[in-house]
Structure formats: C-alpha cells, structure tokens
C-alpha cells in the first residue's frame, strides 16, 4: 500500500506518483480515503507538472465553468432536440402514456408520417450532386490548383466524406444542427488531413454567437467518452488524474461526475435507460472517462501576412508559400491583434493538454450545419419540431378509432345474465351467442362506429397537415395527385421545394466553409512528395504526384480558393425543366436544326441519367463545342485536341476553296480567249497568223481593248504550244535599230468605237 503524506509542505511521494496539494484531505493510493478534489503530478525530475501549477489550475476552473454554463443554458433545447430524434425513430409515446393506454385497453399505435417526410429531404440531398472548383489567385498557381483539386477528390474518397456530410445534414434536418470536423490526421493511421462527422449530442458552443459560421463565438466544446486504458495510453503522464476521473470509481462517485453531462449526452452510457436492468458487470468491465475538448480564443499580437497570395493569414514560419511570397517581395509582415485559437483537453479533475491551435486558418475545426434557428436565443431546431404535435394527435386518433371499432357497449337489465364478464366477452365477438333469462329484455349491444369514423377523418386531416407543414407533398413523393397538368405538378413541386430550401442553402454554406478549412489544411500539411490515385467517371485509375521538386506540383507555394459550383437542388423540378427543354428542341428542329445540334450537349447535361458526363463529352467531340465552364487559360486535353482538329479542318477547307477559285479563274481566262478568237474571226492557233490579224485590227480600229483580249489569247495559245512540244524555247532576239513607237490611241484621245 502506498500512502501519500505531507510535512510542512514537503512532498514525500515517489517520482512519477500522484499527491495532494497541501491542506487537502489525505488519501491512500488504493482509494481507501477518496476525498481529494485536486490532483497534482510529478515529472521524472520530481517537479510539479506544468498543468498542475496555479495558472493552469485557474485556466481549468475557468474552462470548466464555461462548459457548465453552456450545458445549463442549452439543456432545455437539447432535450427537445433529443425528443425530435425520438419521433423519427418511432419513439412517439412517453412511458406514462403507454401505461395509461394499456390500462384502458388501448394500443399505442404509431403511424410515423414524420419519417417519410424526413427521408424525402435526406434522399434529395443524397441525389443532388454538389461539386466545387479550386481557383488560383494568380496565373502561376493554375497547375498547383489543379493538383489540389485532384488531392481533395482523393481525400473525399479516403475519408468517406460524402457519408460524413450526409450524416451531418441528417442531424440538421432532424434535430436542428449537425457538425463536420476537419483537421490534421496521423499519417500512420490514415490521410494527413481528415474530414469526419461529429454528433450534436457531444457538442456545445458559444450560444451568444449570432453568425452562422460562428466566427463571433469565443469557444466550442466537444465531449467524448474514453476507456481508461485508451486514455492512459494517450496521456501516460496524467494517469493519476485519469484514474481519479474514472466513472464508477469511488473517487468520481463522491465528486459527482454526472453533473457534467445531460440526458442527450449520456444516453448511450446510462444503463438504467434499458427496460430490463443491466446487471452483467457494468462499469466493472469498462472504466469510462468523460473527456472534454475545449477550443477557445485568446487575444494576442501576432505577425500577419500583408499582400501576396496569403494575405491576412497568420505568419507560419514552416510555410514555404509564406517565405516564397516574402522573398519575391509580394508580401510583408505586420503586427496585428488577433484572437488566437487554443485547445485544451481536460476532465472535470484537471487538464490533460493545452496548446495553441495547430491550424493556420485560425478557425474552429468544427463547422456547423444549421437547420432552423430560434430568433430569441439562436437555439437550433429541425423540421420535426413543427410536426411533433400533429404526429402525436394522429397517433392518438388512430388509437381511439381502433378502440371504438373493437369495443362494444352493452345495456342489460340486472339479473338478465348470470355472468357479466362472460357477456362482455361474447358481445365483442362477431359470432357471439348470448343467453339471457326469460322474462328480461335482451341485452342492447351497439358499437360506436360514428365516433371511430370521426377520429379517422381527423387522422386524415393530420396526415394532410403534416405534408403542408413539412413541405413534402404527394407530388414530391411521386404519388397519385389531383394535379393533372405538367404545370400544376411542377408548381406543387416547387412549393414543396421552397418549404425545405433553407436546409439545402445552409448545407451549401457549411460545405463552403468546411471546404475552405480543408483546402488550407492541405496547403499547410501536404509538404512532402507523395503520389496518390484518383479515378475518373468510369473508374479508371490515374496517378498524380505532388511536391516532386517541379514548380507546377508545388502545392504549398500558391494559395487557392474553394468555390462551390452553382447547381439545382431540386431533382424532380430539374427533370420537369429538362422535359420543357426537350420540347423546345423539338420545335426548333423543324426550323433551325443547326441550333439543336449546337445545344444538344446542354440538353443532355440538364438531365439526370447514368453516364451523363460521358455522353456530353462525346457529343462535344462530334459537334466541336467546347465546355462553357472550362477555364480558357487551362484547356483540357480533349479541348486541345478539338482545337487542333478544327485548325486542320479549316486549313483543308481553305485549300479546297483556293483550288476551286483557281479552277474558276482558269475557266474564265479560257472563255475570254475563245471570245477574242471569235471577235477576230480566227480559225487557227498559228502564232504568225494571229500576229498578222492583231496588227490589222489595231491599224483598222485603234482599239486597245481588242489588243488586251488578243494578248490573253496569245499567252494561252503559247502555253498550250509549249506544253504540246510544238514550239521550242524562245531565242534571244538580235539587236536591231529601234523602230518608231506606235502611237497609243488612248493617249491621242481616241476611244474605241
């Protein structure tokens, strides 16, 4: 047995052991006297652990008080949120109501129309694809931005991000708020940057914050239950503190550990919630510890980047991109006050770890997905909150209607039957045989079917009201409806979409915030060379390398922005709009088929069909139409190939046009030559005869026009003669005295007649 004692404030314990602070009640290591309220640890050198010093103790008390404050302030709404989820999970009667119904002989019926409404909203989110773009802030960062986009898609598959986001959206729709977490992971266990879902039951936040991104919040807290052996492996230097904080331990039972949780938070830990008592070991098998993770802000003067790609970011001395901008002269460092994010891990007994946030973005790693928020205090709630009373009334009407239909009323004179209970049993049977005494009136048996019918009518009203309040109509569900025209169906679908659009808008906003944090973490933590695999739409693998020493693959040197693409969340409405677009194309096909061909890729792109992207790609290859959303400064390989093919086709077309023009010109020249022969009355191509005829024509008519026509005819005849071998190459003429120049008729004012 190891006993702890003090003498004049001197520590008498061994190194690495635990002890009490002076003035506290002494206790033994086996827990025989478990009345300690503080825990202090010694390091290997016998010094007090820094987390047990006075400043750390004050910080722990302040954070613990903040945690308790938010737990109490949000407890009422958290209980309502848990009740909303129970309604979805078919838990729609309280234990007292069930007991009362069974005492009256009624059945606690549940017709869960709420679940159908919620499932439609959740299914719409699953079907609606949401995509994003990574855009660089400068042209030099175009290739690195493409690498970041590919890496984010790889991480989406590795982290199962789509499932995590869907779970967060489901929490927002049901309870009012869901949470997504992104941060630095352990590369030996998984991706360097992780993305995962966190349940709302474990989360508390600054309830005075008003902004949807919680940028004005001072703190966010998460609680998590851990087994003692796991927690001891994570914090071996704080093993004594963890033992003191263990649930079921004599020490923790005296301290009252349950005060730091509520029913929604501890529902999975409380064995008393089960209908049958759990007596198979309980905490003797698993010693559990409630750990609290508090992210909080502390104001401080820090160096901040001014200018460059990383403008307004906290200076990170480990960032290659920050140093690159500083060396290039694009950025400078300035001192500015900032609220720095810190994180503290603790139990109710003391601190486990305290440090500044490791994330450069200086934001909380948790991103809320809001449903509705109450105006008076900002507390969240989901769709179910407005449907709860209607659903309960529907269940009660159904139970009463069934009770009326299965019950009978019997009026009988006293003494008419020997056994009243036997009469009660027989009266309720459709093949009943009732024997009564002679001389008495027969028993009056009737069933109150009118009351049952009235309750059934009210049930139908409740069912319709759930659709109207929830916004999910028969048109949205694809059921038979009284709307006959396509426009009427589309109008009712839009009405239902507008009623639930706030959830999709909030989800879109949350995904943008989460994507910004995820992208910053990628730029911060992916600094080493790495190769990863991505797949295309057909599942074919492609391998991408980053940080291999080449400039385009250095993803940490350039800052990029995360942008959510515009899209239509309304799956059924999109189908109706696509049908209208097809009708328009049919009308245009009769008068302007070329427009239909040019717009065919857009028509296919608006449809919900398998292999849509591949169809659009092939249509654009055939029609030569480029992707309207493609970056003109960074065309895809398909676009480059199309441009080269278009240039080659244009060159071939130009050559064909030139050949056609040359043929037409040759044909025109020949026609002119034939016309000149006819004009001169020539029947031969002999050059001597042609020259003689020309001289005669000029002397007689003095017409320059005739001379030009004959020159053209002679050139053609000469070329044909050379080609046929009838003429030899011309000899160089001998020098002869110059003859008098023939006067130009035009120069003498003579015009052809």
CA 152 to chain CA mean position, Å:
12
Q: Report helix, strand and coil shares of the chain as percent, to nearest 5.
A: 50, 15, 35
- What is the pLDDT at residue 190? 86
Give, as one character, the DSSP assignment of residue 261: -
Q: What is the CA radius of gyration of the chain?
A: 45
Q: Single out the residue of 473, 466, 378 nearest to residue 92, CA to CA.
A: 466
Q: How far apart are CA 209 and CA 378, in angstroms?
A: 8
In terms of Cα–Cα distance, which of 362, 250, 251, 367 is closest to 313? 362
CA 689 – CA 682 distance, rounded (Å): 9
What distance in Å separates the CA atoms of residue 119 and residue 306, rounded to the nearest whole number?
A: 48
What are the b/e assignments for 118-145, b being 16+ CB within 10 Å?
A: bebbbebbeebebebebebeeeebbbbb
Helix or strand (DSSP H, E) at 722: helix 704-724
Beta bridge partners of 530: 546
Distance CA 390, CA 396 (A): 10
Q: How far apart are the first and last CA of the chain?
A: 142
In sequence order, which residues have a C-beta less than 8 Å from that of residue 257 and are 6 or more positions away?
245, 247, 290, 348
Do residues 604 and 596 make contact, with C-beta atoms less than 8 angstroms apart? no
State the pLDDT at residue 752.
42
* Closest CA relative to residue 74, chosen from 223, 256, 257, 247: 223
Splitting the chain (753 residues) into consecutive groups of 10 residues, what average pLDDT does each group show? 33 39 35 45 71 92 95 95 95 90 85 91 83 86 90 92 95 97 90 95 96 95 94 92 75 51 85 61 72 96 92 90 91 94 95 95 96 94 94 90 77 77 71 74 73 85 83 63 53 62 92 95 92 76 86 88 66 60 78 78 71 74 70 68 77 85 82 68 60 61 58 65 55 47 42 40
Instruction: Please check whether residue 62 is in contact with residue 69, taking contact to mean a CB–CB distance below 8 angstroms.
Output: no
Q: Which residues contact 56 (CB under 8 A, 6 or more apart)?
A: 50, 351, 354
Instruction: Give the CA distances from residue 67 to residues 59, 118, 224, 347, 511, in Å, rounded to whole numbers and listed in that order.
Output: 12, 32, 14, 11, 27
Contact (CB, 8 A) for 408 and 446: yes
Q: Report CA dihedral (97, 101, 106, 111) to the nearest 10 degrees.
A: 0
Q: Pick the closest to residue 174 from 113, 89, 267, 268 (CA basis).
A: 89
Q: Whole-angstrom Cα distance, residue 189 to residue 360?
A: 22
User: The pTM is what?
Assistant: 0.70
The conformation of residue 386, written as its DSSP 8-state character, comes to G
């Amino acid at each position: 047995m190891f006993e702890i004692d003090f003498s004049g404030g001197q520590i008498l314990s061994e190194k690495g052991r635990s002890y009490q602070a002076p003035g506290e009640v002494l206790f033994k290591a086996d827990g025989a006297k478990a009345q300690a309220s503080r825990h202090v640890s010694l390091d290997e050198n016998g010094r007090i652990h820094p987390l047990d010093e006075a400043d750390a103790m004050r910080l722990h008390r302040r954070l613990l008080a903040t945690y308790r404050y938010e737990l109490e302030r949000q407890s009422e709404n958290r209980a309502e949120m848990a009740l909303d989820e129970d309604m979805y999970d078919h838990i729609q009667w309280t234990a007292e109501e069930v007991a009362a119904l069974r005492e009256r002989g009624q059945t606690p019926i549940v017709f869960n129309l709420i679940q159908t409404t919620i499932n439609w909203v959740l299914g719409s989110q699953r079907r609606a694809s949401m995509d994003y773009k990574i855009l660089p802030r400068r042209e030099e960062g175009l290739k690195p931005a493409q690498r970041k986009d590919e890496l984010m898609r790889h991480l989406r598959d590795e982290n199962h991000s789509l499932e995590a986001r869907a779970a967060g959206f489901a929490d927002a729709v049901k309870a009012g708020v869901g949470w997504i977490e992104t941060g630095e992971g352990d590369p030996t266990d998984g991706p360097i940057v992780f993305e995962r879902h966190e349940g709302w039951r474990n989360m508390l936040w600054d309830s005075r914050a008003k902004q949807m991104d919680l940028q004005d919040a001072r703190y966010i807290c998460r609680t998590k239950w851990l087994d003692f052996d796991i927690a001891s492996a994570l914090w071996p230097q704080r093993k004594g503190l963890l033992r003191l904080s263990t649930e079921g331990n004599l020490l923790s039972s005296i301290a009252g550990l349950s005060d730091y949780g509520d029913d929604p938070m501890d529902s999975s830990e409380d064995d008393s919630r089960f209908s049958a008592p759990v007596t198979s070991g309980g905490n003797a098998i698993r010693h559990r510890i409630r750990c609290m993770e508090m992210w909080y802000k502390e104001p401080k003067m820090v160096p901040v980047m001014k200018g460059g790609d990383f403008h307004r970011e906290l200076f990170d001395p480990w960032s290659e991109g920050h140093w690159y901008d500083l060396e290039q002269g694009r950025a400078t460092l300035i001192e500015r006050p900032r609220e720095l994010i810190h994180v503290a891990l603790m139990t109710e007994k003391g601190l486990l770890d305290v440090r500044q946030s490791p994330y450069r973005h200086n934001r909380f790693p948790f991103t809320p997905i809001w449903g509705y928020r109450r105006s008076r205090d900002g507390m969240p709630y989901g769709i179910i909150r407005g449907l709860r009373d209607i659903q309960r009334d529907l269940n009660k009407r159904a139970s009463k209607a069934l009770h009326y239909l299965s019950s009978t009323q019997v009026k009988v004179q006293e003494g008419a039957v020997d056994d009243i209970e036997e009469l009660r049993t027989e009266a309720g049977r459709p093949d009943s045989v009732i024997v009564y005494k002679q001389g008495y009136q027969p028993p009056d048996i009737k069933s109150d079917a009118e009351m049952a019918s009235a309750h059934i009518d009210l049930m139908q009203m409740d069912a319709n009201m759930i659709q109207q309040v929830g916004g999910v109509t028969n048109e949205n569900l694809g059921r038979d409806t009284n709307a006959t025209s396509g426009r009427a169906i589309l109008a009712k679908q839009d009405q239902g979409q507008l009623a639930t659009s706030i959830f999709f808008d909030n989800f879109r906003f949350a995904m943008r915030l989460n994507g910004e944090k995820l992208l910053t973490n990628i730029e911060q933590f992916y600094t080493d060379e790495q190769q990863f695999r991505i797949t295309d739409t057909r599942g074919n693998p492609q391998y991408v390398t980053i940080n291999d020493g080449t400039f385009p693959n250095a993803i940490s040197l350039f800052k990029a922005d995360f942008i959510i693409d515009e899209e239509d969340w309304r799956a059924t409405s999109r189908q109706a709009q696509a049908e209208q677009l097809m009708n328009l194309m049919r009308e245009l096909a009769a008068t302007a088929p070329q427009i239909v061909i040019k717009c065919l890729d857009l028509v296919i792109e608006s449809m919900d069909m398998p292999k849509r992207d591949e169809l659009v790609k092939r249509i654009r290859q055939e029609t030569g139409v480029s992707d309207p959303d493609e970056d003109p400064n960074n065309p895809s390989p398909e676009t480059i190939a199309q441009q080269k093919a278009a240039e080659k086709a244009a060159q071939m077309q130009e050559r064909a046009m030139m050949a056609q023009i040359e043929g037409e010109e040759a044909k025109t020249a020949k026609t002119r030559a034939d016309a000149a022969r006819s004009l001169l009355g020539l029947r031969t191509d002999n050059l001597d005869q042609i020259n003689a005829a020309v001289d005669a024509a000029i002397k007689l008519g003095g017409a320059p026009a005739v001379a030009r026509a004959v020159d053209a005819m002679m050139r053609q005849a000469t070329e044909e003669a050379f080609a046929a071998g009838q003429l030899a190459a011309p000899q160089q003429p001998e020098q002869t005295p110059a003859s008098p120049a023939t006067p130009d008729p035009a120069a003498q004012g003579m015009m052809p007649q």
